[in-house]
Homo-oligomer: A and B are copies of this chain.
Amino acid sequence: MATILAGFEGLVMPGDELWGYTGEAARLLKEAGAEVGDRIRITKPDGTVYEGILMPRYALAQKPIIVVKLDNGYNIGVRVERGTRIEVVEKRRAKVGAVVTVPLLEESPPAGPKPRVYILGTGGTIASKVEYETGAVKPAMSAEELLEAVPEIGFIADIDAGVLFSILSENMTPSHWERIVDEVAKLIQEGYDGIVVAHGTDTMSYTAAALSFAFHRGLPVPVALVGAQRSSDRPSSDAAFNLHAAVLTAAKAPFAEVVVVMHGETGDTYALAHRGTKVRKMHTSRRDAFQSINALPLAKIWPQEGRIELLVKEYRERGREKLVVENGFDDRVALIKYYPGMKPEIIEFLVEQGYRGIVLEGTGLGHVGEWLVDSIKKAVDAGVVVVMTSQCLFGRVNMNVYASGRKLLAAGVIPGSDMLPEVAFVKLSWVLKRARDPEEAKRLMLENLAGEINPRHTVNLYPKWPHEP
């Protein structure tokens, strides 16, 4: 049975384990009768003594390290070795621990300075709590509280944190993307070695695409978007694991790209770093909801082993590029999914309303009903940029195969190659802020700017679907 301790949201505490401790660490703590929140004293074989509040770890951390919060407010990880003794000095009383606003220390700090990582909060489930009046989940925890909940991240990097804003990601708009781009750019200029953006999962892939285009001309460090599918007050929360993996990515990854870092499997084994232009939320609730479409993820991230396993050969190297920011997204762009019988009036309405771009999510290789071609041609003639993508999601638009596609090409529709509809939407919104005319917009839409087009699909990019009972 799993239990949650107030003040330690975001942590899984299975009954079989001891608040995330396993093996020798768990055995020693059990022997001592120590509970999370107790004041304990650890005596190492060489006589060194650490005294402080016992902190939890998230599920199944494998290193034999016990984390205690010292009186000076620092968390410290003490390695358990043969002969280490633990005593309970004082049983816990009420809520334990205050917000940690200082970097965490390792027992033995590594040689040289640690990378500096900034965790930027924007809201979402990775930072949410139950609203007790209504029973619903609302964004609440600050980025600093996350730092307390996951002591492991302090061993990887010097952490700073701040909240830009706190909204559920379904409420994000292009103007929020602009604010995030500005803030991330500022932090990179301040010299951080990597940026983590805590973000709600609902529209995380849209924001990841927005950042990808804004920084496509020059990015010196990784920008890792991270969230949680289960809110951090629930025992099954993936918040801690994902944050750990995202910090590791921001601090140590060899690539300087905008990525989404989320669970790769349901278990706490590895996370995946997905390229920001090729990722999609594919499940409403699973931990491994985020998946790369038409591309491999950039890397597997094994947070508990501190390991980053690259899955691709081509990426933008850390430290190679100087920062170039091209911010700005046009909000007069619509994403329109085609369905049988869809009427031209919807296209006509968008043109009348002054929309400058339309991304169509057509069927198959990039088709819509032939009765729409006239209204689409009128839109193009009126200067609206129209891009075709496919509701299949997998594969590539090819409008030369069937008569329907050829008519649309003739009407001036731009084929979106293998771009996800959502990514083409973000890209067009970005492109329309900088192209001087529809011709330049077309050229930019056809060009692979930020890895949004994968020119080469291998057969192994398609998932293995469940065909067995």
**Chain A interfacial positions (CB closer than 8 Å to B):** 131, 134, 136-138, 168-177, 201-203, 206-207, 264, 266, 272, 281-286, 288-289, 291-292, 296-297, 300, 311-312, 331, 334-342, 345-346, 349, 353, 361-371, 390-398, 400-404, 406, 421-422, 425, 459-469
Q: How close is A134's CB to chain B, nearest CB, in angstroms?
A: 7
Q: How close is A432's CB to chain B, nearest CB, in angstroms?
A: 13
**A–B Cβ pairs within 8 angstroms, 25 of them:** A137-B402, A168-B403, A169-B363, A170-B363, A170-B404, A171-B369, A172-B340, A173-B341, A176-B340, A272-B467, A281-B363, A281-B391, A284-B365, A284-B398, A285-B395, A296-B467, A300-B467, A311-B468, A311-B469, A336-B337, A339-B425, A460-B466, A460-B468, A463-B463, A463-B464
Tallying the copies of this chain within the complex gives 2
Residues of B within 8 A of A370 (CB): 170-171
Q: Which of B137, B172, B367 contacts A401 (CB 8 A)?
A: B137
How many Å lie between the Cα of A396 and that of B285 in the bound state? Answer: 8
Residue of B nearest to A175 (CB): B341
Residues of B within 8 A of A285 (CB): 365, 395-396, 398
Residue of B nearest to A401 (CB): B137
Residues of B within 8 A of A300 (CB): 467
Q: How close is A298's CB to chain B, nearest CB, in angstroms?
A: 11
Q: Beyond the given A137-B401, A202-B364, A331-B341, could you list 14 further A-B residue pairs with CB under 8 A, ordered by the A residue number?
A: A170-B362, A170-B367, A173-B340, A173-B341, A281-B364, A281-B391, A282-B393, A283-B395, A284-B395, A296-B466, A311-B467, A337-B361, A460-B466, A462-B466
Most buried by B among A134, A364, A460: A364
Residue of B nearest to A210 (CB): B340
